[in-house]
Amino acid sequence: MPELPRRLVYVITAWGVGGAERQVAELATTFHSRGWEVSIVSLTVIREQLLPQENGGVRVASLEMAKGVADPRALVRLARLLRRWRPDVVHAHMVHANLLARLCRPLAPVPRLISTIHNQDEGAQWRYYAYRLTDRLTDITTAVSRLAVDEAVRRHAVTESRVRLVPNGIHTAPFELGAAVRERTRSALKLGDAFTWLAVGRLTEAKRHADLLAASRIVREQVPGVRVLIAGYGPLQAALEEEVDRTGLGSNVTIMGARDDVPALMQAADGFVMSSAWEGLPMVLLEASASSLPIVATDVGGSKDIVVDSQTGFLTPPLQPDRLAGAMLRLMSLSSQERRTMGDHANRLVASRFDMERIADEWEALYRDAKG
C-alpha cells in the first residue's frame, strides 16, 4: 500500500491580516493537528505573525520579495526550498503565488500542486491569460466562491472541468461566547441600549467604508442614536476619521483601529454590515454568522454563498450607499425575536456548510488525489 502524503507546503503572496492569509493560517494549524508536516512560504517580507506562539509547530519562510517589484530570484529561492523540504503537496493561494508555484514546478517537481483563487476578480486580463498558459503545470484550480469559479471560466483562466469550488472554512467555537461577554463588552464601549452595527475589515478602497459612512448618515436621520463600530486599520484610516469629523458622525461612528477582540465585538453588536465593492469569500461574514448576527452585506464575491437574503440577513448592490442604508433600516425595523431568528439561521448555515473540519476533509481528499 503506497505511503499517504504527509508533507504540505502553502505558498501565499503575502503574510498579513487579509482573509486569504487568515484562511491559510487556519488550514496550516488544522493540518498540523492532523499529523501533517506543514510549512508556509510568503512571497513578500513577513511583517505580521498570524500563527500562535512559536508558529504552532508550523514552519514559516519568506522569499523576501518587495511588494510590487518583480524579482526572478524568488523563483530560484522557492525551488531551493521545495527541493530541500520535498513536500508531497504544494497548495498555492492568490494570483502571484499561484503563478510562481506553477513556474517553479519544472525546477522542483512535486507530486501534487493545487492553485486557489480567492477573489471574484483577479485583476487585469493578462493574469487570466497567464493562468491559462500555465494551467498544465497545476493539477487542479479551486476557487472560494461560486462567482469566482464562474469568472475564472468566463475569462478563460481554466476550463470548467479543471476548476472546482472549495469554500473557506471556520472554527465556530471562538465566536460563540454568550450573553456575559456581550454585556461586559457593551458596558466597556458605553453602548447603552443603542442599536449597534459592527463592520470589520482593512480600511482600504475595496471595503468601501466611505459608502458605510454615507449610509450611516442616512440611517441616523431616522434613528439618531444608532452606533456604528468599524474595527480595522489600513491606509484610509486618517481619511475616514476626517470624514467622520467633517460630517458630525462622531457620536454615531467609531473608527476603532486594529482590534484583537473581534469575537467579543461580534457578541456586543446587534447587526453586522459589510460595504465592500469586491470580495472573495468574506471571512468576516462567516465570523458574523458563527456569532449568530443578522447581516447586511453588499452582493459581491461569495456574499450570497453565506447570506441567504431575507433569511439570515439582507443583500444589497455595491457602491449604492442609499440601498445599503435602506437594508440597514429594514433590519433595524424587525423585532428582536425576528433578528434572533435570522442570527440562529446564520449560525446553523455556517456550521453545516463552512465548518473548518469539514472543509479540511475536502482539502485532504484533494491532497491525496489532486485531480479532484
Averaged pLDDT for residues 243-271: 97
Secondary structure letter of residue 309 according to DSSP: B
- Cα separation, 288 vs 295, whole angstroms: 7
**Within this chain, do residues 200 and 340 fall inside the same structural domain, yes or no?**
yes
Q: How confident is the model at residue 131 (pLDDT cuts 50, 70, 90)?
A: very high
From residue 73, how far is each of 63, 64, 66, 67, 95 by CA, in Å? 9, 10, 12, 14, 18
Closest Cα partner for 4 from 39, 33, 37, 30? 37
- Cα separation, 351 vs 345, whole angstroms: 10
From residue 99, how far is each of 133, 155, 228 by CA, in Å? 10, 16, 40
Q: Domain for residue 1, yes or no? A: no
Identify the pLDDT of residue 1: 40
**Within this chain, do residues 159 and 215 fall inside the same structural domain, yes or no?**
no
**Within this chain, do residues 155 and 237 fall inside the same structural domain, yes or no?**
no
Secondary structure letter of residue 278 according to DSSP: -
Q: Please give the residue range of the domain that contains residue 238.
A: 173-353
Identify the pLDDT of residue 11: 98
The domain that contains 270 carries what CATH number? 3.40.50.2000
Residue 343 has pLDDT above 90, yes or no: yes
**Within this chain, do residues 210 and 335 fall inside the same structural domain, yes or no?**
yes
**Within this chain, do residues 81 and 157 fall inside the same structural domain, yes or no?**
yes
Identify the pLDDT of residue 48: 65
Q: Domain for residue 2, yes or no? A: no
Q: Please tell me the total count of domains within the chain.
A: 2
Mean pLDDT, the chain, whole residue set: 94
Averaged pLDDT for residues 18-26: 91
In the chain, % of residues over pLDDT 70? 95
